[in-house]
Amino acid sequence: MSAVPRSEKPVGRFRRMLDRLSSSQEDLESEELREDAETAGCVRIDDCHDRQIVTVTGTLRTVTLRPRAGVPALEAELFDGSAALDVVWLGRRSIVGIEPGRRLIVSGRISMSRGRRVLFNPKYELRPLGRE
C-alpha cells in the first residue's frame, strides 16, 4: 500500500473504485469496521488509553476459555479495524452469542496487561447478525 493514508487520497469515483480493486480483503474489512465504529459513535480502539472509560465496537476474532488464578475466564479478541482489544469475562465459561465473527459493542474501563489493551467484565451489546 502507499504511504499516503486513505483519508488524504483523492475521493473521486474512479479513485475509490481503483482503491477497492487494488486493496486486499483484510484492508477492505478493516476499513468497513472503522467506518462502523465511527457511525456507531464509538471510540477507535487505537485511540484508547490506560484507565480510560470507553465504548468501542468491532468483530470478535477469537473466543477462548482460559482460567485465571483457578477461576474460569472467557477471553475474546475484539478488532475494530484500527487495533485489537482483549475482552475478559471473569467467572464465565461461556456466554450465549459470544462467538468468533460476531459484532458487538462493549463498554468499560481499559487497562493494560503485558502491553495489550484489556477490558474486564464489560457491559456488552450484541450487534445483529449479517449485513445491516
State yes or no: pLDDT of 70 exceeds 90: no
Global confidence as pTM: 0.73
d(CA 106, CA 75): 13
Q: pLDDT tens digit string along 75-129?
A: 999 999 888 999 999 999 999 999 999 999 999 999 999 999 999 999 999 988 7
Please compute, for residue 49, the number of CA atoms within 13 A of its CA located in the half-sphere on the CB side: 0
* More confident call, 30 vs 62: 62
- pLDDT beyond 80 at 21: no
Give the Cα-Cα-Cα angle 130, 6, 35 (nearest 5 degrees).
Answer: 30
pLDDT surpassing 80 at residue 16: no
How much is the CA Rg of the chain, to the nearest whole Å? 16
